[in-house]
Each structure stands twice: as C-alpha cells, then as structure tokens.
Chain A
C-alpha cells in the first residue's frame, strides 16, 4: 500500500488522520446525541447496512467484474434464515453467521454453473435467478405442505410464511435494542470494509483483477480462475446474507417482495457503480449518497406555481440518469470524478507545479 503523501497540505498525513478519527467519533456518538430526535440513528443504521451490501457486491461485481443483478437472493436468504431460526428459539445473534453461510451455500448452488458465463450473460442469468428465487420463496409454503418429506419443517403450517411474511416478536425495550443494532451494524460495516481491503491487497485480489481484465490471459498465467470466481461469490454472498439477517432483526417483519425484490438487487448494482466500481471507497461513497439522497428526496416536493409534483419517485430516476452519465463519461464513478478533481487541483497552482515536478509522478493519480 502506498504511503506517498499527496500534496494536500504541509503535513497531510496527520491532518487526514485527525479528520478521519473525528468522523469516527461522530459516528459512535450519534445515538448519544439523539440528533433529529433519533432519526439520524435510524438513517445511520441503514447507511451501515447499505455500505456493507455495496462493498460486498463490489467484491464480485467490481474486483472480479461479474455484474450480478441477483444479489437480493442472498439478502433475502439471510433475512429468512435468521427469522425462521429465531422463531424456533435459536438466539438471534447466533443466526447471524448461519444466515451468511446459508446465503453462501445458495450462491454456490447457482453460482457454480452460472459463473462460467461471461459478463452480459451472467448478468441476465442473475436476473433470472433473482426473480425465480423470489417466486419460489413466495410460494414455498404451498409447495411444501403437500410433501410429507418437508412437513417437519413447518411449524403451525408456516415455514416461510409466503406472502404474509414473517414477524419477529419485538423485545421489551425497543429503543435500547435499536441502539445496540446501530453499533452492531457499524461493526458489520467495518468488517465488510476490512475484508474488502484485505481482498484488494492480497494475491487473491490480484487474481480477481486479472480475471476482470482478461480471463483467458489470467488462466494462461496460472490464476485458478474458477476457484477464485467462486470464492469471490461466496465471500460476497456471505456478507450480504449477514446484512439481510441484521435487517430482519432490526425491522421485525420481512416478506418476499421486500427482501427478494428486484429493487434490492438494483440498489446493490447502483451504489458501487455510481460510487466507483472496483475501488475500495467507491461503494462506501455510493451507499452514503444513495441513502442520503433517498431520504431527502422522499419528502421533497417541487412546487412550480400551482403545479405540485411529489418527488418521491424521482430517486431511481436520478440514479438511472446518473448511471447513464457515468457509463458514458466517467466509468470510475464518483471516485473517478473526485480523482480528476484532485489531479486538477494538484496541477493548479504554480508552487504546486514546482513541488509536484520534484515528486515522482505516478501518472494519473
């Protein structure tokens, strides 16, 4: 990892470190500050969840280049695993890793055959898998109740609850619980980021990037492409599964339309792609912007004289537009834009030019 300081200021390293720590402290303190009456805490929790999902998707979609439109399957499976087990008495916290494992196993099931497909075809297959899974989960109870083999899984005639969804009992002190989950969500986010960082800087990650660039060449050079691709999928699925599990435990109610729905998959594609696909920070930025934009837009109204337009549906419209712009003009997303800005900034002042020319330039920063 490079320790070359960028010419931001006299002592760049310490400055950034302090700013980063301040940010971290802020995050930790949010529940205590009860800002906006506690709404910021909910928003923060959602952000952590989305950052986790975004980062996890990026491992498969960004580093490896296999764009998946079916990641909602992992999210949903994680949510359902947790809920089903919790309703049968398993302590919720234990269900967290189990949720990830089940999601990963399912990923292996459909991923192994599908990963053979290249770029576009893999994407189409994942849309198919995502929708098929949603339909299956919606109707699983009706299917299972006629089969003696699976009858044992039903409890009071309910396994997945189908369209009714499943409800978790709410704990007596919901507020404290929510705060605990805020920190839990934050922890999960940092774990995801740590994993992503580790992957990026490891030999495994190098292999993934190679696969992304040219799979045949990678294969020739000796990268075990199939194994790596599957590993990436498993890692991605595991973390998204855990995110789903956390979601279920926070909201206490899940149904197939929500957790297996195409919109969830879309969100997981949009966030890292707009933020900066294939980078470490891109998915984070993308997720933060996604949540904040959605929150602000949700209650915004555009008033043009007598014509009042509710902007609540504009969210995806904006994102669709951003996606088009990004694909056309800046494939590296917001991070790419940021870097362009940074390099423009660096090239600005004459004193910087003098200072910069004495540093070994590494091309486009």
Chain B
C-alpha cells in the first residue's frame, strides 16, 4: 500500500531538516581581523588504490608545516605578525566524486585560505574544478599530466613537470647512448603504459620522439594495461612476442612490481628496461631483489641528488619517519613550502593576491631538480628530470643530468 503524497513530502522535509540541523547550527558569522591561524586544506587518498602514495604526501605536508610552525609560522605583513598554519586533511578514498565533495567542503564549510593538492592525475583532474570555481589558490605536487593545466585555469599550479617531458627525457637520453655507441641504432622499442592519462601521455611522448627520429627508434608494440593489474601474463606474452630491444613502461609502484615479477618469471630480457618514474622504491627493490637491478628511472627527485637542499630534506625525513625519503614526500614538502612562501610574498591572506604571488613564484634554494621553482603561464613547473639506475647490491646511481650524475649508466643490461 502506498503512503499519500503529503506524508512523503512531510517525511522528506523532516528528514532533510532533521539531518541538516547540525549544519545549520554550525554556520555562523565569518570571523573578521587577524586570524589565529592560516587554514590550509587538502584531500589525499589515504585509503583505496593510491593509499601508499597518499600516505607519503601526508608525511611530506606535515613535515613542512611542522617546520614552519616551529619557526613561529608564516610572516603575514598585513597583520605584522607570524601566523601558524593549520592543515585540514581529509581522506578521499582514491575516489573522484569524494575528492570533489571534500574540496567543496574545505572551501565552504572549513573556509580554508588556500588549498594544497591531492595525489594522482584522475583525482586532481576531477577536483581542480573546485578551487577554480571558488577562486581559491591551489598548488599540488602530485599531478604531472599536462592536461590538468591545459584548461585555462587561473588558480591551479603544479610542481611536477609533465609526463610528456619525462618520456622525452628518457628518449633523449637513449639517443645520447646511441651516439656514445653503447646502444644500437635503430633500436626497437616495446612501450606499455597504465590505462590512465599518465600512461597515455607517456606512450604518446615515446611515439612523438620515435616519429621525429625514425632512424633511431622504432616502436614495435604499444599497449595499455589496466590499472592495478593482477595478472601481467597476457601483456608480457605479447611483449615477448614482439622481440623488442628496449622495454619502456609507465606504471605505479604496485603494477611495476607485478609486471616485473612476471617479466622475470617469463625469462624476458632487454637492453634497457625502464618503468618511467618507478624503479628505485625500496619496497619494490626488496620484493624483486636482483631482478630490479639495472632498471633505469626518470623522476622528479632523488635523495641522492648532491645538492645541499636535497640532502637536508633526506636527513630530516629519515629522522622524523625512520624511512628513506622518496620523491613523493619531497615534492609534498616543497609544495607546502611554496604555498607558504607565496602567502609571505603576498603579505596577505587575500586569495587573489596569494594567487598572483604564486604565479610569480621564483623560489631558489629548492630541493627540486635545478634548485629553482617557477611556474609557466599554464601553472605547471617546467624543470628538469633526474635519471637514475638501480645498481647491484641495492645501490643507486644518478645518470642524468650531467651536473648531478654520479656514475655512467650501464648499457646494455648485462646478460645473466
């Protein structure tokens, strides 16, 4: 039997009123004058598929903010005092809709002064609409795909150079190896990438360089694979059948481990093996053992970069969390510092002015490759990558750029 329409209306009305009452009670007048703290907000994947990376980012943010607060806070000229930072951190469960919802909440309910980014291109692509919508300055250290910054958004800034550039760097390095006689020419490439914009941009970057120099490179197989792969067998059987000289992949830590395990089990071997930004992670090297030796990676940061800032961060991080520093927390740390610096430069918490200060950022003595942080017109940084190679015995060698390289790359990979 049915309930009459008016009862339905009553119930819906009551339900909504009753359940939203706490929200009603919570909203009050906006506080005027000098705020007691600068409120920064972020939503990170702390659970779900990206939990590991999200966890690193959390640590990086917290380390940076603790450091700033220990020194008294950020100097805001408008109020002529140092104000400490409060970070509101939510878990977006690696889900797009949740991420958007949480950023809306941060802006409207928590009334943040600025936003720090999340991690992961899909999440970032989805939630960056929110800071742009409400005109809140936003800088992230976890989204590298160029598409994020191709939407003419004024309030979005990113600390990671694009994946396309990563692929180009890798290809240019290979070209240099060919010129040095260590790699044959032309060379056949097998490229696979995770089925995300990250992976697609990587594959496109490889294809672009191939088309530009057909005498050097030939792509014999170009395949996507499902994210969070459980069984790498079908993919690798195809790679095996392609008889390539070089194997390039773009994958997350988990998929890199899964794929390389099966790679080894199938007895595959190539002259050069690279998983894009992955390769040096301790967890993976432990799991793969000697199988991970000689993998070349191209990344936004490494603890072995011989600059003072990089070393200082590596030490701080090791001391605070008792684990070696990887690029995730390093970039997160720097992201928070860049935002703090922008507020300081702007001298105020006014969102538009902070945004302008971000756009004009020129921060030296940074731990990023090249030591300097600045943003292009589209909001994305455009600095260099650092390339590394895993060496036997759990060691690591920096192979590019020349001014930070610690060793010559071992090319081709020695046959076992």
Contacts and interface: CB of A to CB of B under 8 A. Distances in A.
Contacts of B11: 281, 284-285
B26 interface: yes
Interface residues of A, number: 64
B4 interface: yes
Interface in B175-212: 194-197, 199-200
B13 A19 contact: yes
B195 A258 contact: no
A21 to B, nearest CB: 7
Interface stretch (B71-79, B126-134, B275-283): B126-134
Chain B interface size band reads: 35 or more
A36 B133 contact: no
Contact of B26 (A1, A36, A292): A36
B6 A142 contact: no
Contacts of A40: 20, 23
A2 B4 contact: yes
Interface string A229-251: 00000000000000000000001
Nearest to A288: B15
A163 B129 CA distance: 18
Contacts of B151: 167, 169-170
A22 B15 CA distance: 12
Contacts of B98: 298
Contacts of A289: 15, 19
A139 B235 CA distance: 14
Task: Name B's interface SS.
Answer: helix
The winner among B97, B102, B153, B197 for most chain A CB atoms within 10 A is B97
B9 A170 contact: no
B19 to A, nearest CB: 5
A26 B16 CA distance: 9
B108 A281 contact: no
A312 B91 contact: yes
A3 interface: yes
A298 B110 CA distance: 14
Contact of A21 (B9, B14, B17, B125): B9
Contacts of B104: 39, 42
A116 B225 CA distance: 35
B122 interface: yes
A23 B17 contact: yes
B146 to A, nearest CB: 11
Nearest to A263: B95
Nearest to B19: A292
Interface in B78-100: 90-91, 93, 95-98, 100
Interface in A11-53: 13, 16-17, 19-24, 26-27, 35-40, 42-43, 46-47
Interface in B106-142: 107-109, 111, 122, 125-126, 129, 132-133
Contacts of A252: 129
Given A19-B10, A258-B96, A299-B90, A2 B2 contact: yes
A16 B7 contact: yes
Contacts of B10: 16, 19-20, 23
A164 B97 contact: no
**Which 7 pairs show the lowest CB-CB distances between chains A and B?**
A23-B13, A20-B9, A37-B108, A164-B197, A39-B108, A163-B195, A174-B133
Interface of B: 1-17, 19-20, 23-24, 26-27, 46-47, 90-91, 93, 95-98, 100-102, 104-105, 107-109, 111, 122, 125-126, 129, 132-133, 145, 147, 151, 153, 194-197, 199-200, 224, 226-227
14 contacts: A2-B4, A13-B6, A17-B6, A20-B5, A27-B16, A36-B23, A43-B20, A139-B195, A164-B145, A170-B129, A257-B96, A258-B95, A285-B12, A312-B46
Interface of A: 1-3, 13, 16-17, 19-24, 26-27, 35-40, 42-43, 46-47, 135, 138-139, 142, 162-165, 167, 169-170, 174-175, 178, 197, 200-201, 251-253, 255, 257-258, 263, 279-281, 284-285, 288-289, 292, 295, 298-299, 310, 312-313, 362, 365
